[in-house]
Amino acid sequence: MMFWYDHDVSGWGWFAMSAGMIIFWALIIMAAVLLFRTLNRPGEHTPTPAAPTPEDILRERLARGEIDEDDYRSRLNALHAGPVTKR
């Protein structure tokens, strides 16, 4: 015995299928655009430079000639000695 099934898609079926395909391709295109934008941001992938340490600032001042070597060493020793406490 042979069975015959109705394989036709109704109007709502065509609508659901069409809407599904439009949503599917819209999501694929949106994901591609977001990925492209994320990868093409020039300045956000480089890490921000760290703030200079007090030792770096002293080294730069010595290199520019703002302080002499004795002043540099005394200030460096004061930095490494820790905070001054008042009694």
Structural domain contains residue 71: yes
Any domain includes 58: yes
What's the rounded Cα separation, in Å, for the pair 87 and 85?
Answer: 7
DSSP 44: S
Residue 8 lies in a domain: no
pTM: 0.41
Split into its structural domains, the chain has a count of: 1
Quick check: is 66 in a domain? yes
pLDDT digits (tens, 9 = 90+) for 33-72: 999 998 887 765 566 678 889 899 999 999 999 999 999 9
Q: Could you give the count of Cα atoms lying within 13 Å of 41 in the half-sphere of its Cβ?
A: 10
Across 22-74, the runs of DSSP E, i.e. the strands, are none
Helix count and strand count (H, E) for the chain:
3, 0
Residue 31 resides in a domain: no
Domain that holds residue 62: 53-82
